[in-house]
Amino acid sequence: MLKKLFAYFQYILPQHLLTKLFARLGQVSTPWVKNNLIHSFVKYYQVDLNEAVIEDVTNYPTFNDFFIRHLKPTCRPINHDDSFVVSPVDGTIAQGGKIRKNQLLQAKGHSFSLEALLAHAKTAALFENGEYETFYLAPRNYHRVHMPFSGKLLSATYIPGRLFSVNKITAEIIPDLYARNERLVMLFETELGPMAIVMVGALIVGGMQTIWMNRPVKYTSIQELLIPTNLVLNKGDELGYFIVGSTVLLLFGPQTIHWDPETPRSIHFGQKIATKIISLH
């Protein structure tokens, strides 16, 4: 009962207003404000700052700078074997497997459509009967997103939407959660064919930003974003980041990869998650 109340309460929350307020708080540079925020966050969520390039919280200009902190390269070795796909993020694998009848599993008893997620019928057709994996990023996690496999960026589409919290409770109760929240869909051409990376926003997520944009993306309607010409990113290269939490979905076409059954649910960026079956180029 409490879980349902928590989930349903989010329908009446002023989601975008709360998110804007939190984003502004995260930009405050007043030392006693931002230092207390960061100290409290680190203590509550047990963040391991030994992995961070900047270990002293007082050296971060703002809370947001702390949240999108860089890690020491030695903390996340990347599996560079060309036959492997690696995790794009630090987080938990929430769901994954084959896309059946154009449906992706959200939680037990809940699924959502591929076309609703991508908001584009032609793009969705590329992944019919394909493969997907959903990664949940907890507040304590590293929040930068990296390339799981080398590829050329073909398009980037911003889709506005709600900002429901994303967690186990909301995934089990709120229908079409990932297809209702705001999101950024990036389509790549790889030697395996098409690959999509979807960054999903959530309550108090201050923004989603890519390496080629100079500010977080935010529009009131679906937008095809301007992208650099011939942008090729290698496996492990940084793609973008979340300013506070959420979810990443990774999609491949049919009969291209095999998910590694030994992959742990809790995973680090750079770890092997799948093996390629074919190469189309």
Residues 28 and 120 occupy one common structural domain: no
Write out the two tokens for 129. 């009967």
Confidence band, pLDDT 50/70/90 cuts, at residue 8: low
Domain range enclosing 21? 2-67
Point out the domain boundary residue: 67, 102, 120: 67
Task: Name the catalytic one among 87, 143, 246, 268.
Answer: 246
Question: What is the C-alpha to C-alpha distance for residues 208 and 17, in angstroms, rounded to an integer?
Answer: 17
Task: Name the catalytic one among 90, 143, 165, 268.
Answer: 90
Task: Name the catalytic one among 143, 146, 165, 268.
Answer: 146
- Lowest mean pLDDT, pick from 124-138, 145-159, 215-229: 215-229
209 touches 144 (CB < 8 A): no
Task: Specify whether 90 is catalytic.
Answer: yes
Task: Specify whether 146 is catalytic.
Answer: yes
What beta strand segments (E) does the chain contain? 84-86, 91-98, 103-107, 110-113, 131-137, 144-146, 151-159, 183-190, 193-200, 207-210, 223-224, 232-233, 238-243, 246-252, 257-259, 266-267, 272-276
137 touches 145 (CB < 8 A): no
* Inside any domain, residue 267: yes
Residues 45 and 137 occupy one common structural domain: no
Point out the domain boundary residue: 26, 43, 67: 67
pTM: 0.92
Confidence band, pLDDT 50/70/90 cuts, at residue 121: very high
Nearest Cα residue to 20 out of 209, 241, 207:
207
Residues 31 and 117 occupy one common structural domain: no
127 touches 99 (CB < 8 A): yes
Task: Specify whether 281 is catalytic.
Answer: no
Whether 82 has a pLDDT exceeding 60, the answer reads: yes
Residues 56 and 181 occupy one common structural domain: no
* Inside any domain, residue 73: no
Residues 119 and 202 occupy one common structural domain: yes
Confidence band, pLDDT 50/70/90 cuts, at residue 167: confident
Half-sphere exposure of 194 (CA within 13 A, CB side): 20
| Phi and psi angles of residue 267, each rounded to the nearest 5 degrees, phi first | -135, 155
- Provide the edge-to-edge strand list for the sheet that holds 272-276: 84-86, 272-276, 257-259
CB atoms under 10 Å from CB of 190, counted, come to 22
